[in-house]
Amino acid sequence: MTRAFNFNAGPAAIPLEVLKQAQEQFVDYKGAGMSIMEMSHRSALYEQVNNESQALLRELFNIPSNYHVLFLQGGASTQFAMLPLNLLRPGSPGAYVMTGAWADKALKEAKLVGDTVVAASTEADKFMRMPTMAEIEVPENAAYLHLTSNETIGGTQFKEFPNTGNVPLIADMSSDILSRPIDVSQFGVIYAGAQKNLGPSGVTVVIIRDDLVKESPKTIPTMFRYDTHVKSSSLYNTPPSFSVYMVSLVLQWIKDRGGVAQLEQYNHDKTKLIYDAIDGSSGFYIGCAQPQSRSNMNITFRIHSEELEKKFIKESELEGFVGLKGHRDVGGLRASTYNAVPLESCQALTQFMIDFQKRNG
């Protein structure tokens, strides 16, 4: 079997070791005579999976005890709405940092729910950078400040986070959660769809500070309330059990590799290869994001002609590379180098880039 050099943006690469372990346990999970998908989510075996995933995430991400860890459905996109539904109040707007496609979607949903304000925007720079901390203006009466820690489409990433005082800081970390250590206590809520850095699609992780759970308006439907899922430990209704199980395997894989700080170094080594290939190409490849905002998860770049970009994608596919086409909204090229993408894939891509330039430069 040859595994593809998988640079997909999401769903994305899952560690081969994890896939093999899931394969081993697929038909008969821990001697139950059935797969994890076939058993009750109220069974002791599944409860163990649910608890272990929570505990592992707490340990790896150093989550303080006054935070809850939830496994929800509906993707990060549902959080765009669930968050303002639960946290917005009349006279207290949701403040949004506008950094690209995902931030925009989050803002648009909040506008359907209540008042919003833009706390900073890098639109004038075509979203090719993140704002500096000084550029972010948090209104004192804001219900929260929302930002997107990594813009998956633009390829930009926050390297530090603003101090928002009493205003809760909320982050959509869908495309960089667990790629680097973070001080969780800086945040009120962190959420992330699993399908980029945590496992398969179908489950969304929400990390929420206890005080933010308590005062959701009475009128919100049950499934959209954070307190519903906190009270039931994410077992209010049938959970996406196979996805949660896969996340638990990925988390154990991260732990076995030494944890998140270790992964950060590994991710740095991986992306440096590719950014160096861009910067060392004498302008043949052009990095999209401004250097200080470059993402360690999604590397966006271009070639001076669209013809050559098409050729790059076509030839890369013939050599086993997958997912190097930029998002349809922005074009160009993109290599997503999430936690599970091995260094070897990045080495192979770097070599391919150098060879492609030699043939076409």
Which residues participate in catalysis according to the annotation? 102, 172, 196
Q: Are 55 and 173 within 8 A, CB to CB?
A: no
Nearer to ligand PLP, 102 or 321 (CB): 102
C-beta closer to ligand PLP: residue 116 or 150: 150
How many CA atoms does the CB half-sphere of 265 hold within 13 Å? 6
Tokens matching residue 14: 């899952």
Minimum CB–partner distance for residue 76 and ligand PLP (Å): 4
SS3 153: coil
For residues 147 and 333, which CB has a smaller minimum distance to ligand PLP in the complex?
147
Separation of alpha carbons 191 and 172, rounded Å = 5
CB of 105 to ligand PLP, least distance (A): 7
Name the residues that contact ligand PLP, by CB under 6 A: 10, 75-77, 102, 148, 152, 172, 174-175, 193
Shortest CB 263 distance to ligand PLP, Å:
18
Q: In whole angstroms, give the CA distance from residue 334 to residue 288.
A: 10
- The C-alpha atoms of residue 147 and residue 229 are separated, in whole angstroms, by 23
DSSP codes of every residue in 185-223: GG-SEEEEETTTTTSSTT-EEEEEEGGGTTT--TTS-GG
Q: Which residues contact 133 (CB under 8 A, 6 or more apart)?
A: 160, 162, 163
CB-wise, 76 or 335, nearer to ligand PLP? 76
Residue whose CB is nearest to ligand PLP in the complex, by number? 75
Q: Of 148 and 281, which has the nearer Cβ to ligand PLP?
A: 148
Count other C-beta atoms under 10 Å from residue 44's C-beta. 9
